[in-house]
Structure 1
Amino acid sequence: MDESDERRFERFYYAHHGRVAAYLLSRTDRDSAQDALARTFEIAWRRFDEVPASQLPWLLGVARRTVAGQRRAQGRREALLDRIAAGAPIAAHDQVDRIAERQLVAQALERLTGPQREALLLVAWDGLSQQEAAMVVACSRVAFAVRLHRARQRLSALVDELARAKPGVPRPPQSGMRRCSLDAEQQTSDLIEETT
């Protein structure tokens, strides 16, 4: 790369650093997010000539794959530790315990499949359009729209199911399936913001 390329990359970095960092922080812990952020921009530096015009979705796709790689490596480390510790339980922690309604949404999110959860988070938290989100997950816009629609329906149904199972817990507004899922998406964004 020559000096003008370095300046272009510097502008590229500053234009997208914040959004990529927020994306990573919403999906992993702070230390892992910092590692993934560095790795994402390292890959972008090496492949800078291949970056498409839609830069942010491409970067988020790289970040997504980087986090997936981190999780695979973490899983291997944990499996090794489990074998070493002869099955000692690993403490699970739940960061969402403040508001009953938010607990319902968090529990519902946990029950979604990975692709459903990812679809909701890309649109609700990361603020991507369906076209941009489709680029991140490497599928067509139509396939992503179907995935998002199904994710919204499933999230709404899960929130209702969990609310019925816990008497006294407030339910999200019932002014239609889409409204409920949009409220759940907003609560998802609020949850992620609280935990970062």
Structure 2
Amino acid sequence: MIIIYIVVLITVSSVSASTKCISQPAIKKYEELRGPLQDIENYLNKCHGSYTSKEPITSLRQSIKKIEKQIAAVNKIFYERKWSDEQQHNGHCYIFSKDTLPWEKAKKRCEEVNGYLVKLDNETENQWLTERARKKSGYYWIGLSFEVNYQWKWTNEKKRPSFLKFKKGYPTKNSDIPRCVYLYGHEYGYWTNYQCTSAKNYICETHKCV
């Protein structure tokens, strides 16, 4: 019974990773997470269902708990959704996250689904996103940050931004180096730079709506 359950999990996991919107590096990482499933199946096959002590059972339960945590984490990344089903504007598609993450992890999450942390090109796009952000959590990481000397740049391109909309008094410059930026939907879509380690919602974008 347990063997069948594990085989089913392997099969379902493999199918889930086949969706077109997932990048190849993300699929590779997903396959690595599925490894323990195969290890347990091999272990059970060697035992042939015959246990003479509690040690194998305890080990098995620990492994299954580990797998359940991994599967839960993976499901947050590889949710089955298509960009074409998301909110669209001017030929681009956007995902407003339901979970909160630090800026770097949010950036990685968007890349895992073949997107990037949102890049705002003009006031029209900024207002369109602000209207939707206001109806949701309000605070959303965007793809703007700096590495040195407050030279701001978007995650998906190297050139300096042509459009910025920081709130009055921002960006702040202090010893804490708040180098990441979020959009606040309840203040006319103004931006604030903040500590990258703070967990916030985020917006993923792609120009390939498939």
TM-score, structure 2 normalization: 0.26
- Greater helix percent: which structure? 1
TM-score, structure 1 normalization: 0.27
- Greater strand percent: which structure? 2
Which one has a bigger Cα radius of gyration?
Answer: 2
